[in-house]
Amino acid sequence: MYIETSLPRKQGDKARLISPAYKSLTTGKCFQFWYHMYGKDIGSLNVYTKTKSSSTKNLVWNRSGDRGNLWKVAQFTVKGTADFQV
């Protein structure tokens, strides 16, 4: 997924990518993805989990601002007793 942060984008614009539903993970599993955040207008990249039975989001990872002109890997662990989405 690519999101352009320069014009015509405005501060506060958002994009969302929602995963399919995953089964509960009582033992925990590692999720991994790559990201590239470069430039003076970079905002924040937030990753949340949400169970199907609740509208409450749980922040599991985030970064803000310019992280250099290179791709970086991110990881977080998910553990829970209910089916969820990222």
**Which of 82, 72, 83, 79 has its CA nearest to residue 45?**
72
Check pLDDT > 80 for residue 82.
Answer: yes
Q: In the structure, what pLDDT confidence band is assigned to residue 74 with cuts at 50, 70 and 90?
A: very high
pLDDT in tens, 26-62: 888 999 999 999 988 788 999 999 998 888 999 999 9
Report the mean per-residue pLDDT for the chain: 89
